Amino acid sequence: MKIVITGGAGFIASHIADAYIALGHEVWIIDNLSTGKQENIPEKAHFIKMDVNDPAIHDLFSQEKFDIINHHAAQMDVRVSVNDPSHDARINILGGINIYEAAKNSGVKKIIFASSGGTVYGEQEIFPADESHPTKPISPYGVAKLSNEHYLYYYYAVYGIPYVAFRYANVYGPRQNPHGEAGVIAIFTQKLLAGQQPIINGDGLQTRDYVYVGDIVKANELAISTDMQGAFNIGTSIETDVNTLFRHLHSLIGATCSEQHIPAKTGEQRRSVLSYNHIHQQYGWEPSMEIRAGLDKTVEFFRVQST
């Protein structure tokens, strides 16, 4: 198939691009390289340096007639969205609409979208959250992700374009960006490798659901090989607190520093964990990477990078 991936120079989507190419698909990447890196782009991909808001995307889509649009480009820093909601919305909402409008008359068979299970539900009432959990995002980033899901439903209902919205938990692994939703892993790893002192916000008992990027790739493979349609959580159903992460990384790296805390950041979500039952029951997806093994691979990546 002919697949265009937005954000394919970034952490998650570059792994998806690698996998689609390995499966024999023709992969095109659109990325403005704002946080993505040229070195992440697979050699066999066609790369177009372009912003998701560029009107030229309409001509590109009508000329190339992609089978699949996999939309991962985003401003992915929750704090940036809080400081400048308009900037976030320009990329994360208007950029999405530009992509979907360009897709509308181009014969696309499916749109896959990177949503965020860590933010669309807001403060969780049920642990783990399934897809029927109330969606009350408490950041502009989460509002933007959820509104893309509503737009995608609109294009599905009115124009018949199937879509998959993956509500990812906190994704970690090689190539990850310190500003992303699982940024704490990259930050702690880089500091510990450099012999510096990582700092834990608050008591360190705030939890997240950390899912390995290889498991995210498997879900994106299923999305193009099955009739998958609608919103699906992609997580592990396991809550890991920041202190535990710190201790795992500390021992994997063989660090000697102590555990240091500062007062908690205001407004930080306390707990987040997703049920993956829906995609498991329907398509057999389940996470396969245990956290310590995944952290080991991540540390290895940053170790090589730092030498």
- Does residue 11 touch ligand NAD according to CB under 6 A? yes
Do the beta carbons of residue 149 and residue 165 sit within 8 Å?
yes
Rounded Cα distance, 151 and 176, in Å: 28
What are the two backbone dihedrals, phi and then psi, of residue 12, each rounded to the nearest 5 degrees? -70, -50
Closest CB to ligand NAD among residues 114, 253: 114
Shortest Å, Cβ 254 to ligand NAD: 26
Residue (of 254, 244, 237, 258) closest to 292 by Cα position? 244
Per CB under 6 A, contacts with ligand NAD among 132-191 are: 168, 170-171, 177, 180-182
- Does residue 73 touch ligand NAD according to CB under 6 A? yes
- Does residue 29 touch ligand NAD according to CB under 6 A? no
Per CB under 6 A, contacts with ligand NAD among 111-130 are: 114, 116, 118
258: exposed, middle or buried (Cβ count in 10 Å: 0-12, 13-18, 19+): exposed
**Torsion sign (Cα): 182, 210, 73, 298:** positive
Binding-site member from 17, 35, 128, 246 for ligand NAD (CB under 6 A) = 35
- Does residue 217 touch ligand NAD according to CB under 6 A? no
- Does residue 209 touch ligand NAD according to CB under 6 A? no
Q: How many residues bind ligand NAD (CB under 6 A)?
A: 31
Considering only the stretches 58-66, 110-118, 244-252, 262-270, report the one whose residues sit in contact with ligand NAD under the rule CB under 6 A: 110-118
- Binding mask of the shown chain, residues 53 to 72, with x at each position contacting ligand NAD by CB under 6 A: -------------------x
Shortest Å, Cβ 167 to ligand NAD: 8
- Does residue 18 touch ligand NAD according to CB under 6 A? no
Select which of 100, 121, 141, 155 is catalytic.
141
Q: Which helix (H) or strand (E) holds 80?
A: helix 78-83
Residue 182 vs residues 138, 163, 268: alpha-carbon distances, Å: 17, 25, 14
Binding-site member from 3, 5, 12, 69 for ligand NAD (CB under 6 A) = 12
Closest CB to ligand NAD among residues 35, 189: 35
Binding-site member from 16, 19, 20, 32 for ligand NAD (CB under 6 A) = 32
159 classed as catalytic: no
Cα angle 233, 16, 46; round to 5: 140
Rounded Cα distance, 149 and 169, in Å: 16
| First-to-final CA distance of the chain | 38
- Does residue 95 touch ligand NAD according to CB under 6 A? yes
Percentages helix, strand, coil for the chain (3-state, rounded to 5) are 40, 20, 40
Binding-site member from 3, 4, 10, 220 for ligand NAD (CB under 6 A) = 10
Active site residue ranges: 141
